[in-house]
């Protein structure tokens, strides 16, 4: 399969579209002319988030749940790219509460659900140009003494690492894997696309990308969403796996050339 760049007008499926990074990614893609198929377990919530006088005709909300493979029938057909932003909390929380499709713990969401999404995309979208998967810093360090071992107490990093391996080694899809450090800025709850698009990360807008899994800082959800969008439009990021953090500085913003320079450090190193 080709890892070619996507262009405005292409259909991009965003899984986890109502989450903190997902909603920003949906808004950014729609703003730039992509046709966005926003997947959510709760379609009314998705429609409410992207509705109102700032709604975009480029966004279609579709109810789907990665934990239930049958709910994914047809959702990837015609897609040029997928951005997967699904995930749950590392430690037991209200988000783990079981529903009709079972638990929302790390195994169910970050392994079974994530893998089901990859399998469905590989089957339904033979011309898929990119599968961008958002995981986490620590996926290569959870078995070492330190904070990531604690974070993995209930298996979240191990499950994310296993879904990464499936995408890289078994799916046959052109992929990009982004491993953000601790997320800041948001998640936003305003039902207004302009709020999503207008957010900034204070003075920490500079971006650091590094191959593998060695960064330990924090990163703005806004920057992560922008990075995911930029990955789809930069063919050279196909096959790249890198960590991401934010630091003091103006940052690349939406500048494609600035992102090209950042990506050069993680695709050629």
Sheet containing 175-180: order of strands: 59-63, 35-40, 11-15, 81-84, 130-134, 175-180, 241-247, 206-211
| Residue 4 CB neighbours (<10 A) | 13
Average per-residue pLDDT for the chain: 91
* The pLDDT of residue 201 is above 90: no
* The pLDDT of residue 248 is above 50: yes
Residue 157, helix vs strand vs coil? helix
Provide the pLDDT for residue 102: 80
What is the rounded distance in angstroms from the CA atom of residue 262 to the CA atom of residue 198? 23
- The Cα-based distances of 68 to 41, 76, 108, 135 in angstroms read 10, 15, 10, 20
Provide the pLDDT for residue 80: 98
Phi, psi of 246 (to 5 degrees): -105, 145
- The Cα-based distances of 49 to 23, 53, 74, 75, 221 in angstroms read 8, 12, 23, 20, 17
Locus of tokens 């806004």: 222
41 vs 191, higher pLDDT: 41
Residue 55, helix vs strand vs coil? coil
Provide the pLDDT for residue 199: 53
236 vs 196, higher pLDDT: 236
Provide the pLDDT for residue 35: 97
Provide the pLDDT for residue 205: 86
Average pLDDT over residues 6-16: 98
Q: How far apart are the first and last CA of the chain?
A: 24
Provide the pLDDT for residue 191: 43
- Please classify residue 124 by burial: count the beta carbons closer than 10 Å to its beta carbon, then call 0-12 exposed, 13-18 middle and 19+ buried: middle
Proportion of the chain above pLDDT 90, given as a percent: 80
* The pLDDT of residue 190 is above 50: no
- The Cα-based distances of 265 to 22, 145, 231, 258 in angstroms read 25, 29, 14, 12
* The pLDDT of residue 152 is above 60: yes
Choice among 186-190, 237-241, 253-257 with the minimum mean pLDDT:
186-190
268 vs 217, higher pLDDT: 217
pLDDT tens, residue by residue, 40-89:
999 999 998 887 665 789 999 999 999 999 999 999 999 999 999 999 99
Q: Where are the beta strands (DSSP E) in 94-181?
A: 130-134, 175-180
pLDDT tens, residue by residue, 101-147:
888 999 999 999 999 999 999 999 999 999 999 999 999 999 988 89
* The pLDDT of residue 197 is above 70: no
* The pLDDT of residue 7 is above 90: yes
- Please classify residue 75 by burial: count the beta carbons closer than 10 Å to its beta carbon, then call 0-12 exposed, 13-18 middle and 19+ buried: buried
Provide the pLDDT for residue 100: 83
């Amino acid at each position: 399969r080709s890892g070619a760049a996507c262009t405005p007008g292409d259909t991009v499926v965003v899984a986890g579209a109502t989450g903190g990074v997902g909603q920003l990614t949906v808004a950014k893609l729609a703003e730039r002319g992509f046709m966005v198929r926003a997947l959510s377990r709760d379609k009314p919530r998705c429609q409410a988030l992207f509705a109102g006088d700032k709604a975009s005709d480029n966004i279609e909300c579709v109810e789907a749940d990665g934990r239930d493979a049958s709910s994914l029938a047809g959702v990837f057909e015609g897609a040029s790219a997928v951005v997967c932003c699904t995930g749950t909390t590392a430690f037991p929380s209200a988000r783990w509460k079981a529903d009709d499709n079972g638990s929302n713990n790390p195994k169910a969401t970050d392994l079974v659900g994530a893998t089901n999404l990859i399998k469905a995309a590989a089957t339904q979208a033979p011309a898929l140009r990119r599968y961008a998967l958002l995981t986490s810093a620590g996926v290569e360090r959870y078995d070492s003494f330190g904070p990531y071992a604690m974070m993995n107490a209930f298996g979240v990093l191990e499950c994310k690492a296993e879904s990464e391996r499936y995408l890289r080694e078994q799916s046959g899809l052109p992929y990009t894997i982004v491993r953000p450090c601790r997320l800041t800025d948001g998640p936003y709850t305003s039902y207004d696309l302009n709020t999503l698009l207008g957010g900034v990360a204070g003075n920490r807008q500079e971006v650091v990308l590094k191959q593998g899994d060695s960064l330990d800082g924090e990163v703005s959800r806004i920057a992560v969403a922008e990075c995911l969008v930029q990955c789809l439009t930069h063919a050279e990021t196909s096959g790249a796996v890198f960590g991401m953090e934010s630091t003091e500085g103006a940052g690349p913003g939406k500048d494609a050339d600035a992102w090209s320079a950042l990506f050069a450090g993680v695709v050629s190193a």
